[in-house]
Amino acid sequence: MLTVNFNAFNLNNLSAQTDFENKVLNLIVKWYSSSETVEVQTSGSTGVPKVLNVEKKRMRHSAMMTCNFLGLQEGDSALVCLPVEYISGKMMIVRALERKLKLHVVNPSAKPLKELEQRVDFCAMSPLQVENSLDKIHLIKNLIIGGAQVSESLKHKISKNIPESSTSRIFETYGMSETLSHIALKQIYPEAEECFTVMDGVKISQDGRACLEIAAPSLTPSLLHTNDVVELQGPNRFKFVGRADNIINSGGLKIQPEQVESILRQYLDAEAVVGGVPDILLGQKLVVVVEGENTSEIRSGLIEAFKGIRTALSKNHVPKDVMFLSTFPRLPNGKINRRSIFK
């Protein structure tokens, strides 16, 4: 495993043994080059994938905001296990550079902590990586999870697997490539918060659709308009409701699928995605697609989940059909490719 100590950095003493390690070292070389920008590949989860040229000074601001929020200190250790083509992996490198951390480089995989034995102060992972690393996440002092929403099932598994004596803190993130990774964090362990808290230097508001607007001059020069429907809880906190472009119009009722999915996740030990399919009478018929096999356990969970949906929302929010898919299509950053499922 390659380790880069930015507290006593000498690039000449480092050599890559894997393709990923080579990508990390190349990024470090580019960071120290005279270029004022870095290329960042977007995931395509909210639109067509594209390449952004991001100013290094803005990435430095983002890194400082995260390190300050988490209280990271010079000499602390960090672990990068996310692809460096995307902002999530790139920012792990920049945070280590700017705060002079000791960075462990681990090839991105579904089980990135498999060989980890020592304590690490900071790491960023996807929900899928966390799901496959439950026996090791107690070794991470500050863990941030991004790329997709953290399910209620995964939150329960995290709480169940971390020893009570652990000092680990785990956060869900909110952000995108345009905001240079996250601009808000929500603690899910040891405290389970309902709302995201924005970092210093970020101001939030809503547009006429109740979608989040982000003003972060140090990260992006103009007001950022999102398609994320939110509920504001004061000047620096918000609750994520869902994507405006995911809304389903079923018989005149506008349904936010993420609201339904959040209830499903409380009862299912599997991923589930809600969407609309064409229907002569309703225009769009609400359906749920479950990842995995049609087992008695899943069917039992769905029965209880549908009861919960009727109670929390309405009977019209209950999916009319259930379908199963052995494996969900996913984007390179691990997000479920919703568009591909309902194309």
Q: How far apart are CA 198 and CA 206, in angstroms?
A: 14
Residue 185 amino acid letter: L
- Supply angle C-alpha 28, 26, 18, rounded to 5: 115
* Residue extents of the structural domains in the chain: 2-243, 247-341
Q: How far apart are CA 14 and CA 146, in angstroms?
A: 29
* 8 Å CB contact between 83 and 333: yes
The pTM of the full predicted model, rounded to 2 decimals, is 0.84
Quote the distance between the C-alpha of residue 22 and its chain's center. Answer: 25
Residue with tokens 């000449």: 12
* φ, ψ at 199 (rounded to 5°): -80, 165
Q: For residue 238, is pLDDT > 70? A: yes
pLDDT digit string, tens, across residues 160-187:
999 988 999 999 999 988 899 999 999 9
pLDDT digit string, tens, across residues 45-68:
555 667 888 899 999 999 999 999
* φ, ψ at 226 (rounded to 5°): -105, 170
Smallest Cα–Cα separation from 317: which of 267, 268, 276, 270?
A: 276
The C-alpha R_g of the chain, in whole angstroms, comes to 21
Tokens of residue 265, six digits? 């996740």
Residue with tokens 């700017």: 98
pLDDT digit string, tens, across residues 75-130:
999 999 999 988 999 999 999 999 999 999 999 999 999 999 999 999 999 988 99
Beta-strand (E) ranges in the chain? 2-5, 37-41, 51-55, 77-80, 102-105, 120-125, 140-145, 169-176, 181-189, 196-198, 203-206, 211-215, 224-232, 237-243, 248-250, 253-255, 272-279, 283-291, 321-325
Distances (CA, A) of 250 to 157, 210, 282, 321: 34, 20, 5, 13
pLDDT of residue 149: 81
Smallest Cα–Cα separation from 301: which of 343, 333, 272?
A: 272
* 8 Å CB contact between 291 and 327: yes
264: left (phi over 0), alpha (psi -120 to 50) or beta: alpha
Which CATH number is 247-341's, of 3.30.300.30, 3.40.50.300, 1.10.240.10, 1.10.10.10? 3.30.300.30
pLDDT of residue 45: 56
Residue 61 amino acid letter: H
Q: How far apart are CA 210 and CA 225, in angstroms?
A: 11
pLDDT of residue 43: 65
pLDDT of residue 49: 67
pLDDT digit string, tens, across residues 286-336:
999 999 999 999 999 999 999 999 999 999 999 999 999 999 998 766 678
* 8 Å CB contact between 310 and 318: yes
User: Could you give the 3-state DSSP secondary structure of residue 299?
Assistant: helix
pLDDT digit string, tens, across residues 78-90:
999 999 988 999 9
Beta-strand (E) ranges in 211-282? 211-215, 224-232, 237-243, 248-250, 253-255, 272-279
Residue 312 amino acid letter: A
Q: How far apart are CA 21 and CA 206, in angstroms?
A: 41
Q: How far apart are CA 274 and CA 285, in angstroms?
A: 10
Q: Which CATH architecture has domain 2-243?
A: 3-Layer(aba) Sandwich (3.40)
Smallest Cα–Cα separation from 236: which of 198, 205, 207, 200?
A: 198
